[in-house]
Chain A
Amino acid sequence: MFDTRDYELLAHVQLGLPLCPRPYEAVGTALAMSEQEVLERLNRLKQQGLIKRLGVIVKHHRLGYRANAMIVWNVPEVLIKALGQRISQFSFVTLCYQRPKQPEWPYNLYCMIHGKDRQTVLAQLEQLNADCGIKHLECTVLFSLRCFKQRGALYQPIDKPVLAHGYY
């Protein structure tokens, strides 16, 4: 489905398109690919879902969204899919995932809310819990404090494709 050239292209563009009039041509020059081939491949990768979105990647923190909460719930397995889909529809939710429970960690549903301050985030969570009828579920809010390392997508050598997601 994806070939080495796709990987090379993603590795190259994931750090950002050049800010010049013909950015795809510049990318192509670096990879010995025509501008048209770059565009065709990127179009296909987008259709195939390997590029989730293409555009301006903003820095929440710099734009005043300083309260970053990871919220976790302990949800019965049978409800998790429907609930995950429901939670994803709130405009203030930026991510929503299912992850496995562990002996020391009883939570299996995760969402992220980026807000301007804690009060706003907690009020949004209250609204979400009420609207979804899940106030009774075990739930924990983990606000972020220090950021030790943040890096966008990073793709390692081509023989060993490693791709990060540019999430949170």
Chain B
Amino acid sequence: MLNALHTRLLNDFQRNFPLSPRPYLEIAEQLGVSEEAVLSALSDLSEHDYISRVGPIIPPNQLGVSTLVAMAIPPEQLQRVADQISARPEVNHNYEREHRFNLWFVLIASDAAHLQRVLDSIDEETGYQTLSLPLVDEFFIDLGFNLDLPHV
């Protein structure tokens, strides 16, 4: 379903989205199409799940505190434990990974005490230990993701 306009929007507008009253019109002018075409293409991309949104990426630990958590769960219990954990509002990005530590997720809380309460509560609820790996330093400046999509 991806046409040339979709591809340009996916490739070229992951950053520097215009901060001006008519941002979609500005993009449309750059691409030589109408504002309506840009809005409709973005709406298609969103509807078909190619994009999650047009919006900001906010770095970790700027507001609130976060940590990456690893757990080693017996494979036959993984789905059940993962579901218990996913049900918590503080949990984000909960993945199975190929390792003895097979469950990995991000916890975000309002402050360090809140974060610790959630960790303790997960230990207690699941009966397995959380391994908390908070961010020490971040080296990467996120400029978006080069999709390597051909320009149709």
Which residues of A are in contact with B by a Cβ distance under 8 Å?
2, 7, 10, 13-17, 19-25, 35, 39, 42-43, 45-46, 49-60, 62-63, 65, 68, 70, 80-81, 84-85, 87-88, 91, 93-100, 102, 104-105, 108, 114, 140, 142-156, 160-168
Whose C-beta in chain A lies nearest to the C-beta of B83? A148
Number of A-B contacts defined by CB within 8 Å: 269
Instruction: State the main secondary structure of chain A at its contact with B.
Output: mixed
B32 contacts the other chain (Cβ, under 8 Å)? no
Other than A98-B135, A140-B99, A151-B92, give 14 A-B pairs with Cβ distance below 8 A.
A17-B55, A50-B59, A51-B56, A51-B58, A54-B57, A56-B9, A58-B14, A60-B145, A88-B140, A99-B134, A149-B93, A153-B57, A155-B63, A163-B58
Residue of B17, B66, B86, B141 with most chain A CB atoms under a 10 A cut-off: B17
Q: How many residues of B contact A (CB 8 A)?
A: 79
Query: What distance in Å separates the Cβ of B93 from its nearest Cβ neighbour in chain A?
Result: 6
Residue of B9, B54, B146 with most chain A CB atoms under a 10 A cut-off: B54
